[in-house]
Amino acid sequence: MGYLGQIFVMAITAIFIQNYVLSRFLGLCPYLGVSKKIDSAFGMGMAVIFVMTLTSSITYLINRYLLTGMMYLQTIAFILTIAALVQFVEMVIQKKAPALYKSLGVYLPLITTNCAVLGVAILNTTALRPDGITPYNFLDSTLNGFFSGVGFTVVLLAMAGIRMRLELVNLPKSMKGMPIALILAGIMALAFYGFMGFKI
C-alpha cells in the first residue's frame, strides 16, 4: 500500500471505524453538552479540529525530542501543552479574527478539559500506521489529529440535528434531556458498529 493509501485508511479509521466518541468514549462531555443546537455544535467542532491538529503536532515533537528518558512526565507535559495552546489560540484568534472569535469564543476554554484532545495526544505516541509496524511520524500524528477532530465533528453534528428534532417530540417527562440523549447516542453507536466489519 502506498503512503497515500495508508493515509486514506487512517482517515476512514479515525472518522468511522474507531470514532473517538462512539467507539472509544472520548470527548463525551462536549458531545452531550454542546449538541443542543446545530450552530453551537458546528462552532465546537471547528474549534476541536483546530486544537486537535495543533496539539497532535506539538505533542509529537515534545514526546520525541524533549521527553526522552522522562516518560513519567508525559501526562503533565501534555496537559500543560494543551492548556497553554488553547490559551494561545484564544488570544491569537481574538486579535486576528474577531468574527471567528465571536463564534468560537465560548468553546475554546472548554477544550482544555476535552479528553479527546489529551486522548489523541497520548494515543499518537504508541499508534502504528495501517501496515502495523511503522510508528507514527510527525506528519502521521498531525493528520491523525485532524481526522480525529473531523470524526468528532461528524457525530456531534449528527447528534445536534437529531436533538433539534427531538425538541418537538412528546416524550415522557423522565426521559427528557440527558436520558434520551444517551439512548440516542447508543443507537448511533450501534449504527457505527456497522463500520467495524470494514477491512481495508
Partner 1 sequence: MKFFSELTKGIIKENPIFVIVLGMCPTLAVSTSVDNALGMGLAATFVLICSNMMISLIKGIVPAQIRIPIYIVVIAAFVSIINMAMEAYLPDLHKALGIFIPLIVVNCIILGRAEAFASKNNVLNSMADGLGMGLGFTLSLSVVATIREILGNGTWLKMQVLPSTYDPMLVAILAPGAFITLGLLMAVMNIIKEKN
Q: How far apart (Å, rounded) are the C-alpha atoms in residues 95 and 86?
A: 14
Q: Is 67 in the site for partner 1 (CB under 8 A)?
A: no
Binding positions for partner 1, 3-22, rule CB under 8 A: 22
Neighbours of 115 (CB within 10 A): 16
Q: Does 25 bind partner 1 (CB under 8 A)?
A: yes
Region near partner 1 per CB under 8 A, out of 46-54, 78-86, 89-97, 159-167: 78-86
Please, which residues have CB within 8 angstroms of residue 167's CB and are 6 or more apart in sequence?
none
Measured from the CB of residue 56, what is the shortest distance to partner 1 in angstroms?
A: 15
Assigned C-alpha cell, 186: 447508543
| Residue selected from 6, 57, 74, 103 as contacting partner 1 according to rule CB under 8 A | 74
Candidates 8-16, 46-54, 74-82, 162-170; binding stretch for partner 1 (CB under 8 A)? 74-82
Q: Is 115 in the site for partner 1 (CB under 8 A)?
A: yes
83 is a contact residue toward partner 1 (CB under 8 A) = yes
Please tell me the distance from the alpha carbon of residue 42 to that of residue 37, in angstroms, as a whole number. 9
Among 179, 194, 198, 200, binds partner 1 (CB under 8 A): 179
Per CB under 8 A, residues contacting partner 1 are 22-29, 32, 72-76, 79-80, 83-84, 112-115, 118-119, 122-123, 172-175, 178-183, 185-187, 189-190, 193
